[in-house]
Structure 1
Amino acid sequence: MAPGAAIAASIPAGAAFAGGSLPLSVLIALVACLFTASSVAELARHLPAAGSVSVYAAQGLHPAVGFVVAWGYVFVEALIPTLLLLQLGFTTAGTLHQEWPGYPVDLWWPWALLGALIICLAGLYGVRASARLGTVLGLFEIAVFVFFAVLLIGRAGGHNTLSVFGTGNVAPGQGALGGVVAGSVYTVLAFAGFEAAAPLAEEARDPRRTVRRAVLGATVGVGLVYVLTTYAMSVYFGPGRLAGFGVTGAASWEGVARASFGLFWVLVFFAVVNSTIANANAGLVVSTRTAFALGRIGVLPRAFARVHPRHRSPVVAVAAQTVVAVGATLGLGFAYDPATAFNLVATVIVIVVVCVYIVTNAACAGFFLRRGRSGLRPVRHLLFPLLGTAAFVPALLTAAGIPAFSFVSKLTAPVSYAGPVAGVWTLAGLVLLAVLWRRNRAAVMATGRVHLDTEEQAPDQPQRTAR
């Protein structure tokens, strides 16, 4: 979870509804996401596997459900580098054009290709290189935004107030509670990725302990950064004005930095760019490990399970992910424009990943109910998954543009294509499932296998070095 991009681009979407009460919305979203993070953490402790969410669904519900989750998850994770490379391209090109008007704003693609090269090399050098890259980049952007938040709180002086954690500052035209809830729905989407440590279970030391800690620690740690930065901007910019806060212009993080802190805006810009690379790197790690797991059991070509003899990275999966990322980035970016393509890809990702979270919550309850009363903890294994599902259903409807709530807007083309794209991919997965169920049922049943339970370290396993 690299939070810079979410702070600058995702969370401000909730300000249109929550206004100056946006910090309360973020806090509610943090608590809501912790319910699902708890489900992932509990399952990761018992089922350490590269297949992660697909293994959870297979063992908690049914192998066929696990297969469908795997099919959707590898698709959505494969799109994450594309999403972030598009953002890297248009963010860098737009800023350069703003500073030097002679730089063409449509010359975004070289920056996207540079980002693709960086994450490809990190992926080929193995999980240790990828983890170190993610850690260094993540710490930089967190340091920049936390430092900026402290400056804003100091400049706010006597305007600091805990009232922003109440419902009295929502955007005009919104009900007190309704505005806060609507803001939290949009903010929930900024937390996506908290489960990304789970696919590294077969490369981690003591995965039953460390993966669980990573999932919960990432959710809490990044969530607190979100709360701090949102509070800081709310009290500095003014709770009554925050409803007009956005992604670009004077009423944005970069705009406030330019107006009030001189060249500090350069650090904010670098933090956002840094965040796109860190997130793209994380997406490549997750997608390649999921593809590795599917290749190992024969759902994908077995070449995807091939690892580098020295770095133990899944080289075929990394190469395939790079080709997909570059092809989709350039294809969609030129077919529309990078910002429109970003919105389309983001909507597809959110629809699928929220469905995966909902199924994972159900799998948590199912898994521990099957284990019997000795391992069942009603609060952690039943209540939390139920609350996590309740939190993500409104987010799913919002992402899909289904106007079940007054604050949900219907999507327009081409973003409205996201639902059909996700539906076609799911349908293709169901067709493949039917074929495999008839011809190679063992591959489907193997979706739920935890390889660490049956072998200490197979020759084709990735190296277990990540902490």
Structure 2
Amino acid sequence: MTSTSDSGRLRAGAIGRREVLFQSITAMAPGAAIAASIPAGAGFAGGALTLAVIVALIGSLLTAFSISELASRIPSAGSFATYASRALHPIVGFFVGWGYVFVYALVPALLFLQLGFTVAGTFNSEFGYPSNLWWPWSLLGIALVGALALLGITTSAKTGTILGSIEIVVFLAAGILFVVHAGSHNTLSVFTTKYTPKGFHGISGVFAGSVYSLLAFAGFEAAAPLAEEAKDPKRTIRFAILGSTLAIGLVYVFTTYAASVAYGPARFSSFAGAGAASWIGLSRDFYGLFWILIFLAIINSTIGNANAGTSVSTRMAFALGRIGVFPGILGKVHAKTKVPHIAVYSQIIVSAAATLILGLAFGPENGFALDGTLITIVVVAVYILMNLSSMVYFARSISEERFNFFSHGIVPILAIAFLFPALLAGAGIAAFSFISPLTAPASYAGPIVAIWLILGVIVFVRLRSASPGAVNRISEVFLEEIVDEPRA
């Protein structure tokens, strides 16, 4: 194992269990997900969107278990790249890191787009503010999140804890009010395919809708890259990954049910992230000024999620820059704050560029849909690889009792079975009759991911030629020795 000097290390023990838990919770952006990501699947799943959320919850929870098993043995800022490298092969680890950095570089842009169109759209309906001036609000969000990231992980994580708590309380309260308003219209039929729309009838609509539900779960693993900065990381990271997935998953199921029965499952396919048929719109219609709390909770959530996403992307870029896979300058930390400041500045630039390009080219709502689909495709593919990594890693463990047939065999296989249809749906590959292709611009996501992978091949070939040992170093762990060393 290659040692790392203090100048190249993050601040160990800087954050505790609560902050790490809320890193995953805010990375999932429950408020923003409830208001926009999950409703984006309503056009596919209609009144069966609650069932689509349950499908995504099962797949995510099973995957969270596999990832937590790896995180408890291999605590590293390299997280997924390190896991895949040790369990499968350093080449796989490289492409996992390549894809994962791509995803989390785009996560803040997703939230800044939502911030822009939510504020501009709401101000337009209330005060006549020009709806096309969404981008100043996005840039303001980028500046705020960038400042938090540069202040250090302690400030950033504590801010995430506060923001995450606020949004959960507000949306749970709104969900309860929606259920009360629905009264006799509360029904368990939303847990079936009865209300799927005509163009996506039956189980095909559920799987297509689950693409956006999985986007709402994406981020539960965001605690993993904070392993080098967490207290008792092997236990803390495991708790955060599993706890956030289960707790927020149940919140998603309840709030989606509440919105469906309140609006009407038969017409729920028209439910959206903004306008009259949205969380803000229903809150205004049902409870007057209560919509202001929903609006503020959504804004709160976008900032919290962008903050968490920035922490993940910069730690991954730092870890890969530190070992020479990415440019070495990304592996530097600030002498005083111990923040990977070059990685943070790079993320700020990427966030601004991606937000403006996607928003101006397709409109902020369509740019959001395209960005979300891009993220989902890569994240689901990485989740599948993490389940494979769990199976292989524990099968190769020196201590035979460490391999558990259920935990390291059945669970990963079931997780992959739940995730694979969503991967195909997100990529627009109608390999089965129950998978329906996505519409433009979300349908552009598959080709864009393919281009990114081709670029990854080019970078990999050049890296192997210029620095043959860099790829192998992805498997290095930067804390103490892991619990079980796999067989060679």
RMSD: 2.2
Does structure 1 residue 153 correspond to structure 2 residue 179? yes
> What percentage of aligned pairs have identical amino acids?
54
Q: Does the alignment pair 1:427 with 2:454?
A: yes
The corresponding residue for 2:348 is: 322
- SS of 1:132's equivalent in the other structure is helix
Q: Report whether the alignment pairs 1:304 with 2:369.
A: no
Report the equivalent of 1:462. Answer: none
2:226/2:315 contact within 8 Å kept: yes
Kept in 2, the 8 Å contact 1:24–1:164? The answer is yes
The 5-angstrom pairing of residues 45-124 of structure 1 reads: 45-101=72-128, 103-124=129-150
Structure-2 change in CA distance of 1:248 and 1:336 (3 Å): closer
Distance between the aligned counterparts of 2:265 and 2:106, measured in 1? Answer: 36
1:340 pairs with 366, 378, 389, which one? Answer: 366
Residues 19 and 435 (structure 1 numbering): CA distance in 2 closer, same or farther, change over 3 Å?
Answer: closer
Asked if 1:201 corresponds to 2:230, the answer is no
- What residue in structure 2 maps to residue 33 of structure 1? 60
Contact 1:437/1:444 (8 A) holds in 2: yes
How far did residue 265 of structure 1 move? 1.0
Q: Quote the Cα distance in structure 1 between the aligned partners of 2:357 and 2:195.
A: 43
TM-score, structure 1 length as denominator?
0.91
Please say if 1:380 is aligned against 2:407. Answer: yes
Distance (Å, rounded) in 1 between the aligned partners of 2:199 and 2:364: 33
- Relative to structure 2, which stretch is displaced further, 407-416 or 73-82? 407-416
2:211 and 2:376 in contact (8 A); partners too: no
SS at match of 2:335: coil
- Provide, for residues 270-298 of structure 1, a one-character-per-residue CA deviation record: whole Å limited to 9, x for no partner: 11122111111111000000011011101
- Paired residues in the alignment total 454
The structure-2 alpha-carbon separation of the partners of 1:110 and 1:412, relative to structure 1 and needing over 3 Å to count, comes to same
Partner of 1:239: 265
Question: Match for residue 13 of structure 2?
Answer: none
Q: 2:339 — aligned with what? A: 313
Pair 1:218 & 2:244 matched: yes
1:278 is aligned, of 283, 304, 307, to 304
> What secondary structure does 2:241 align onto?
helix
Q: Which residue of 2 aligns with 1:465?
A: none
For residues 343-401 of structure 1, what are the alpha-carbon distances to aligned partners after superposition, in whole Å with 9 as ceiling and x for unaligned? 22222222222111111111111111110522101111111111111211111111122
- Closer, same or farther in 2 for the Cα pair 1:432/1:333, shift >3 Å? same
Aligned 8 A contact 1:116 1:326 in 2? yes
- Conserved 8 A contact 1:15-1:171: no
Residues 81 and 186 of structure 1: CA distance in aligned 2, closer, same or farther (over 3 Å): closer
Cα distance in 2, alignment partners of residues 234 and 94 from structure 1: 22
CA distance in 1, matches of 2:334, 2:432: 50
SS of 2:401 mapped into structure 1: coil
Within a 5 Å distance, the mapping from 1:129-140 to structure 2 comes to 129-140=155-166
Query: How far apart are residue 3 of structure 1 and its match?
Result: 0.8
Deviation at 1:243, TM superposition (A): 3.7
Shift of 1:244: 3.6
**TM-score for both structures, normalised by structure 2:** 0.87
Matching residue of 2:19? none
Compared CA separation, residues 181 and 423, structure 1 to 2 (3 A)? closer
The more displaced of 401-410 and 81-90 is 401-410
Query: Aligned equivalents of 2:49 and 2:362: distance in 1?
Result: 32
Question: Which has the larger displacement, 399-408 or 6-15?
Answer: 399-408
Q: More displaced, 338-347 or 258-267?
A: 338-347
Of residues 397-406 and 139-148 in structure 1, the stretch that sits farther from structure 2 once superposed is 397-406
The DSSP-based 3-state class of the residue aligned with 1:46 is: coil
Q: What amino acid maps onto 1:109 in structure 2?
A: W
Structure 1 residues 95 and 306: alpha-carbon distance in aligned structure 2, compared to 1, 3 A threshold: same
> Given that residues 11 and 187 in structure 1 are in contact (C-alpha distance below 8 angstroms), is that contact kept between their aligned partners in structure 2?
yes
CA contact (8 A) 1:189 1:395 kept: no
Most deviating of 261-270 and 14-23: 14-23
SS state at 2:167 partner: helix
Query: Equivalents in 2 of 1:112, 1:424: separation in Å?
Result: 27
The AA in structure 1 aligned to 2:125 is Q
> For structure 1, which segment, 367-376 or 48-57, has the greater mean C-alpha deviation from structure 2 after superposition?
367-376
Give the 3 Å change call, closer, same or farther, for CA 436–222 of structure 1 in structure 2: same
Match of residue 452 from structure 1: 479
Residue in structure 2 matching 1:12, options 36, 39, 44: 39
Structure-1 separation of matches of 2:341 and 2:190: 49
What is the distance in 2 between the residues matched to 1:3 and 1:292?
27
Are the structure 2 counterparts of residues 204 and 411 from structure 1 closer, same or farther at C-alpha, using a change threshold of 3 Å? same
Letter in 2 for 1:82: A
CA distance in 2, matches of 1:155, 1:219: 28
* 1:389 aligned residue: 416
Counterpart-to-counterpart distance in 1, 2:119 and 2:378: 28
The gaps in structure 2 that reach 5 residues or longer are 1-27, 483-488
Instruction: Look up the SS of the partner of 1:374 in the other structure.
Output: helix
Q: C-alpha displacement at 1:306, in angstroms?
A: 1.4
1:227, distance to aligned residue in structure 2 (A): 1.2
Alignment partner, residue 49 of structure 2? 22
Letter in 1 for 2:167: E
Contact kept, 8 Å, 2:58 with 2:418, in 1: the verdict is: no
Shift of 1:188: 2.6
For residues 392 and 280 of structure 2, what CA distance do their matches in structure 1 show? Answer: 46
- Indicate which of 353, 364, 382 corresponds to 2:379: 353
Report the AA paired with residue 355 of structure 1: A
2:196–2:205 contact (8 Å) kept in structure 1: yes
SS at match of 2:265: coil
- The residue identity in structure 2 corresponding to 1:70 is G
CA contact (8 A) 1:16 1:243 kept: yes
Please tell me whether the aligned partners of residues 248 and 254 of structure 1 are also in contact (alpha carbons under 8 angstroms). yes
The structural deviation recorded for 1:238 is 3.2
Deviation at 1:218, TM superposition (A): 0.8
Given that residues 204 and 435 in structure 2 are in contact (C-alpha distance below 8 angstroms), is that contact kept between their aligned partners in structure 1?
A: no
- More divergent stretch after superposition (198-207 vs 173-182): 173-182
CA distance in structure 2 between the aligned counterparts of 1:260 and 1:15, rounded to whole angstroms: 21
